[in-house]
Structure 1
Amino acid sequence: MYSDFSNVLTNIAHPKTAATITLRIIKSFKYRTEKSLVLHKVNLETTTVGQLKELAHEAVKTQPGWKPYRNVVLDVLKLYTQAHSAKTTNLIINLDHDEWLFDDDSKILADVGFENETEVSFFNRELYEQFKRNPQTSWDC
């Protein structure tokens, strides 16, 4: 039954018009506090970076379990990983590749490289810059 799909990579198993995206909503870099928001059936060919941010803001504001995240200013997205690619060794965010920051809200997700099963971090840019200067976590002390 499933043999027809055994050789299909998951990043191309779904069309770009119905992708699954995981947003890693980061509350604190120092304490590694993050919660994943999985969005299904995202149209990567029409959804913009700004619209994806709004979807995340709405979910945090309205869905149960997100109350501790409602006071966090979330303003920038950054690629964390894509299906079948290497992951960073940092458990909270990849500190290299600042070209993976998505701060132009008008860009279409497919145009900036989103695929099915793309995982992106959503966080406060100012807190990220502070963490980059001193990447200590509470677990390292």
Structure 2
Amino acid sequence: MVLTNTTLPRTSATLTVRVIKSFEFRTERSLVLHGINLETTTVGQLKGISRQAVLTQPGWKPYRNIVLDTLKLYTKAHGAKTTNLIINLDNDDWILDDDEKILEGLGFENETEVSFFNRELYEKFKLDPKTSWDSPSRQQLTST
């Protein structure tokens, strides 16, 4: 069996960028990027490519007013996913703080998923990771 993370060369990988607008309301949209060279693309370049896509591609207007400044590894192909539906709250060492690092050196491979979000909003959400779905009024609606 051939795993999909090895079907494309590292010079032409497909990455999924989970662009997060709101942690509380679980608002995110996936941006699929094709042909990314993991051997030469830096974290900073990936942020730039992603921001440019949000600014220019159709359907992204609601996301254009969010300051997107942080990338965090979400999962690799065939890896375990987090139980949190919006972002992996564990492993803050997966936050990609160094814009000069090459993606391949960080373990990126074909079909890697990363989250792209506003760091300040992330830090606030971590302190109180409740979503709008957790509200008491919502719980009353689902229990009746």
TM-score, normalising length: structure 1? 0.95
- Identify the match of residue 25 of structure 2 among 21, 26, 31: 31
The alpha carbon displacement at 1:62 in A equals 0.5
Structure 2 portions without partners, runs of 5+: 136-144
Partner of 1:125: 119
Q: Which amino acid in structure 1 is aligned with residue 42 of structure 2?
A: T
- Post-superposition Cα deviations, 1:39-83, rounded to whole Å, max 9, x if no partner, equal 001000000000000001100110100000000000010011111
Match of 2:90 among 59, 78, 96: 96
Alignment match, 2:13? 19
Question: Does 1:66 pair with 2:49?
Answer: no
Number of residue equivalences: 135
Question: 2:77 is aligned with what amino acid?
Answer: A
Structure 2 equivalent of residue 3 of structure 1? none
Which whole-Å deviations, capped at 9, do the CAs of 1:3-49 have from their partners, x for residues lacking one?
xxxx1111111110010000000000000000000000100000000
Selected match of 1:105 from 94, 99, 102: 99
Q: Select the residue among 24, 47, 56 that pairs with 1:53.
A: 47
CA distance in 1: counterparts of 2:41 and 2:8, whole angstroms: 16
1:140 is the counterpart of 2:139 = no
Aligned partner of 1:112: which letter?
L
Q: Secondary structure at the match of 1:40?
A: strand
**Structure 2: which amino acid aligns with 1:114?**
F
Structure 1 runs (4+) greater than 3 angstroms displaced: none
Structure 1 residues not aligned, in runs of 5+: 1-6
Q: Which AA in structure 2 matches 1:25?
A: V
SS class of match (1:139): helix
**Whole-Å separation in 1 of the counterparts to 2:8 and 2:54:** 26
Structure 2 counterpart of 1:120, one-letter code: V
DSSP-derived class of the 1:73 partner: coil
Partners of 2:41 and 2:125 lie apart in 1 by 30
- The share of aligned pairs that are identical, in percent, is 73
Find the counterpart in structure 1 of residue 108 from structure 2: 114
Question: Structure 2 length as normaliser, TM-score?
Answer: 0.93
Aligned: 1:84 with 2:78? yes
Q: Which amino acid aligns with 1:41?
A: G
